[in-house]
Amino acid sequence: MDAVEQKQTRTPAELMAIVEALIFVSEEPITVKTLADVLEENKESIQAAIEELKKEYEDRDGGLQLREIAGGWQISTRTEYHEEVRKYLKTRPSAKLSLASLETLAVIAYKQPVTVPEILEIRGVQSASAIKTLLDKRLIVAKGRKETVGRPMMYGTSKDFLIQFGLKDLSELPSIEDFEDIAGSLQ
């Protein structure tokens, strides 16, 4: 087959170039698996190519960065140039989430899948409107029902959450116990 022949003839430099091209055209962060499937290469060589590419971007110190986000890879501008980019795009930072929504989101992110009564337990306040906002913004999604009295809906964070908060995956969130020290230090 053509593809197999091609695979054998790809040099590491070529593979890097192809991987870069695919990451560039992808609308969403592209996963190593997708790259491996499309290019019929094994994941290890894709991973190696990405690492090399990432290093290249860092060494070049240009306006772009290659970064891992929401389980995939993405090319984006660097934070340093946000003012100029924003000026050109004529955009403003989008509306910030309210304190209540951020708190609710924090509880959901750390406790997922979590039900509304469980969120109430921690926050000490009804979170219905915050949950609605988060659902509207697609930061959280319903994750089925909990098999308990009343079968309450459980919520968890979405892929959009990872993207909007610049996270590779949920494990990249600092452990909730780390905040204990921060909270304690405020006393």
Partner 1 sequence: MTDTQPEQFTFDFFKEQPQIVAESSDELKIKLGAFAGPLDLLLYLIKQEQANIFDIPVARITDEYLKYVRLMKSLDIAVAADFLVMAATLIEIKSKMLLPRDPFAAPEEEFEDPRQELVDRLLEYEKYKSAAQMLYERTTIEQAVFPRGRIESDENNAEVDASVFDILTVFQKILARHRDEVQMEIQREEVSLADMIKALKKRIFDELELSVTAFFEEMHSKRELVTAFIAVLEIVRTEGIRLIQKKTFGDIVLKKV
The distance of closest approach from Cβ of residue 129 to partner 1 in the complex, given in angstroms and rounded to an integer, is 11
The SS3 assignment for 122 reads helix
Measured from the CB atom, the residue of 49 and 109 that comes closer to partner 1 is 109
Q: Within a 10 A sphere around the Cβ of 114, how many other Cβ atoms? A: 22
CA distances from 65 to 6, 20, 70 (A): 29, 12, 15
Measured from the CB atom, the residue of 14 and 28 that comes closer to partner 1 is 28
Distance CA 16, CA 124 (A): 52
The distance of closest approach from Cβ of residue 85 to partner 1 in the complex, given in angstroms and rounded to an integer, is 5
DSSP label at residue 30: B
Tell whether omega for the bond before 174 is within 30 degrees of 0, i.e. cis.
no
Measured from the CB atom, the residue of 45 and 65 that comes closer to partner 1 is 65
* Residues of this chain that bind partner 1 (CB under 8 A): 24, 27, 65, 67, 74-80, 82, 85, 89, 93-94, 96-97, 99-100, 102-103, 105-107, 109-110, 120, 122-126, 142, 144-145, 153, 164-167, 173-174, 176-177, 179-180, 182-183, 186-187
Measured from the CB atom, the residue of 62 and 144 that comes closer to partner 1 is 144
The distance of closest approach from Cβ of residue 161 to partner 1 in the complex, given in angstroms and rounded to an integer, is 9
At a CB cut-off of 8 Å and minimum separation 6, what does 101 contact? 130, 133, 134
Measured from the CB atom, the residue of 2 and 27 that comes closer to partner 1 is 27
Q: Within a 10 A sphere around the Cβ of 33, how many other Cβ atoms? A: 12
The distance of closest approach from Cβ of residue 51 to partner 1 in the complex, given in angstroms and rounded to an integer, is 17
Distance CA 2, CA 133 (A): 50
The distance of closest approach from Cβ of residue 187 to partner 1 in the complex, given in angstroms and rounded to an integer, is 6
